[in-house]
A and B are shown apart, each in its own frame.
Chain A
Amino acid sequence: MRWGMVVDLTRCIRCYACVAACRIEHFLPIGMSWPRLVAMETGGDRPTVSTYSVRCNQCQNAPCVEVCPTGATYQREDGIVVIDQSKCVGCRYCVIACPYQNRTFLSRDKDKGFFPGSTQTDFEKAGKERYPHQIGTTEKCNFCVERIDAGLAKGLKPGIDRDATPACVNTCPAQALTFGDLDDPDSEISRLIKERGGFQLHPEYDTNPSVYFIDGKIGYSEVTETRGDSEHEPTPTGVK
């Protein structure tokens, strides 16, 4: 069993629902975001904005696991890379080693509260109790392991049953995110990768990510696609 995710960029409507769902699920501090929606402004006569939903790739050959000096970052049997916050010393070697830059060090300035200088909201207070984040440690997406484990314990199937599926996948209104078992050739995720040419980011690092993307035009604007005009090949001019 190896849990994985497919991000269908052709379906993504750039609504930020995945980011919001994760924030609520894990009570993320205001300066922290596990999944991120990356926006890229394209060039040409009619510039457009493309977005990519990225998160920890749960690499099979995870560089972050290799370098962690305390064993705080480790890989579960189901392929998910998790961090034991109580063991993390905050050396940030994993942040440096991740070629996808999907790890974030939680510094004090990232946890100023929703309303800095004011009393914490009830939501924040509840979050501190239910999902305590430790300042001085590193964090990243964990595919909502707590949901997966609780769901499996109830006999549910992650990717199919909502209670056992990551929050971002459940929330996505465009159904751009698919979760499932990469080792199961009959799973929806395996079918999508096979039939629609799912690909991993930077395979040359030999990290074997568990997050796949569908979209032959990653990095290309819709303008280019419709015109088929090489003159209007997008030039990333910045990010908004």
Chain B
Amino acid sequence: MEIHEWMINYTRQTEWIDRRGIFLWIAFYAGGLGGGLYLVSLYFNSLWGMFLSWLIIAVVKGGAHLIYLGKPLRFWRIIFRPNSSWLARGIIFVLAFTVFAAAQLALSFWLPGTAVEIFFKVLAGISALAIAVYTGFVLNTVKAVPFWNSTLLPLLFVLCGILGGFGLSVIIGLNGGNVNVAVAETGSRWLLIVNALLIVVYLWGASNREATGKKSVMEQIRGNLAPVFWVGIVVLGIVVPMAIALSSYFVAELSSTLLVTGVTCEIIGGLALRYCVLKAGAYKPLVAIAQQSPN
């Protein structure tokens, strides 16, 4: 007989993380990171940052998402139905950003300070924010997966993206880009604290959202995902960058190697967060008795 564990056990979703689903995980994270970096770059008016965010969104995010699709050549069908789902809206945001940010970059290079440039900055900025936030809505509207059913998820994803954006801005600043490294570091520090708190609140909320939600949380904390959660999210994503940030209070100037290490850890933490959220998403069993089973 064929095994269908989903009937009697809590089963995690696999389509959006296993096998080719890895591309979707990369696409979701790249969307948040690119969107966050663009917003931070707008604040610093860093052309390099804007250019890098354009590359991340147009090439990495867009490319990974296209590769993931079973019929990538039909992707155009998605953009004509913005009222259907957040996935469709997300693809539209990506296309809009790609166009607006490209125009803005060209204008910033050749016609800086003009009203047209500012106009496109606003349009690209709105698109970037939408890209950073939409993946959270894609997940939180799935009622079948209680772990994702949280209004905190879009906020968590967008803040995680901006945190990564601050991190990359630090690297751009260290390499001569138009970024105030001290301000970027401060922003990164505060967002790190807010993100850590949000993760705790999110997990606490999920553990109180049906037995399946609790199962997903336990899977992260004590189950197969525990190494990714504790090493990826907690140690590399929060503790190490926080320790580096705190050490700046005791050392006059942090070495660039240390700063780059901190930023790398932040990005690994962001990837691990998305990975855990996708991987831990589970369905409740179809058969009622299984809900009471200890399995």
Q: Which residues of B contact A107 (CB under 8 A)?
A: 20, 70
Whether A158 sits at the interface, judged by CB under 8 Å, is no
Q: Which residues of B contact A39 (CB under 8 A)?
A: 1, 4
B87 and A69 contacting across the interface, CB-CB below 8 Å: yes
State A93–B290 Cα separation when bound (angstroms): 26
CB proximity to B under 8 Å, residues A113-170: 134-138
A98 and B144 contacting across the interface, CB-CB below 8 Å: yes
State A226–B262 Cα separation when bound (angstroms): 64
Whether B69 sits at the interface, judged by CB under 8 Å, is yes
> How many A residues face the partner with a CB closer than 8 A?
51
Closest-by-CB residue of B relative to A36 is: B4
Q: Which residues of B contact A218 (CB under 8 A)?
A: 287-289
- Known pairs A63-B143, A92-B15 / 12 extra A-B pairs, C-beta < 8 Å: A36-B4, A38-B286, A69-B84, A69-B85, A70-B88, A89-B72, A92-B16, A99-B143, A105-B70, A136-B70, A220-B289, A239-B4
A96 and B70 contacting across the interface, CB-CB below 8 Å: no
Q: Mark B219-232, 1 if CB is under 8 A from A, else 0.
A: 00000000000000
Which of B36-44, B74-82, B185-193 interfaces with chain A? Answer: B74-82
Q: What are 15 A-B interface contacts by the 8 Å CB criterion?
A: A38-B4, A39-B4, A52-B7, A52-B287, A68-B85, A71-B77, A72-B77, A91-B87, A93-B85, A96-B142, A101-B11, A105-B70, A202-B286, A236-B9, A239-B7
Q: Mark A27-55, 1 if CB is under 8 A from B, else 0.
A: 00000010011111000000000001010
State A136–B2 Cα separation when bound (angstroms): 23
User: Within the complex, which residue of B9, B13, B78, B294 is in contact with A70, where a contact is CB–CB below 8 Å?
Assistant: B78
A87-B74 in contact given A33-B2, A36-B2, A99-B143 (Cβ < 8 Å): yes
A234-B289 in contact given A89-B77, A136-B71 (Cβ < 8 Å): yes
State A218–B288 Cα separation when bound (angstroms): 8
State A91–B85 Cα separation when bound (angstroms): 12
Q: Which residues of B contact A52 (CB under 8 A)?
A: 7, 286-287
Whether A223 sits at the interface, judged by CB under 8 Å, is no
A95-B15 in contact given A63-B144, A67-B84 (Cβ < 8 Å): yes
User: Within the complex, which residue of A68, A89, A95, A105 is in contact with B74, where a contact is CB–CB below 8 Å?
Assistant: A89
Whether B115 sits at the interface, judged by CB under 8 Å, is no
Q: Which residues of A contact B6 (CB under 8 A)?
A: 101
B74 and A101 contacting across the interface, CB-CB below 8 Å: no
Q: Which residues of B contact A36 (CB under 8 A)?
A: 2, 4
State A107–B138 Cα separation when bound (angstroms): 23
B85 and A67 contacting across the interface, CB-CB below 8 Å: yes
A90 and B69 contacting across the interface, CB-CB below 8 Å: yes
A99-B293 in contact given A70-B81, A87-B74 (Cβ < 8 Å): no
State A16–B69 Cα separation when bound (angstroms): 33
State A54–B16 Cα separation when bound (angstroms): 23
A88-B71 in contact given A99-B144, A101-B6 (Cβ < 8 Å): yes
Number of A-B contacts (CB under 8 A): 144
- Interface size range of chain B in the complex: 35 or more
A91-B78 in contact given A52-B287, A66-B85, A96-B142 (Cβ < 8 Å): yes
A71 and B9 contacting across the interface, CB-CB below 8 Å: no
Closest-by-CB residue of A relative to B77 is: A70
Q: Which residues of B contact A66 (CB under 8 A)?
A: 84-85
Whether A12 sits at the interface, judged by CB under 8 Å, is no
CB proximity to A under 8 Å, residues B1-37: 1-9, 11, 13, 15-16, 20
Q: Mark A74-98, 1 if CB is under 8 A from B, else 0.
A: 0000000000000111111101111
Closest-by-CB residue of B relative to A109 is: B19
Q: Which residues of B contact A239 (CB under 8 A)?
A: 1, 3-5, 7-8
A68 and B84 contacting across the interface, CB-CB below 8 Å: yes
State A68–B80 Cα separation when bound (angstroms): 12
A69 and B283 contacting across the interface, CB-CB below 8 Å: no
A105 and B7 contacting across the interface, CB-CB below 8 Å: no
Q: Which residues of A contact B294 (CB under 8 A)?
A: 235
Whether B170 sits at the interface, judged by CB under 8 Å, is no
B87 and A67 contacting across the interface, CB-CB below 8 Å: yes
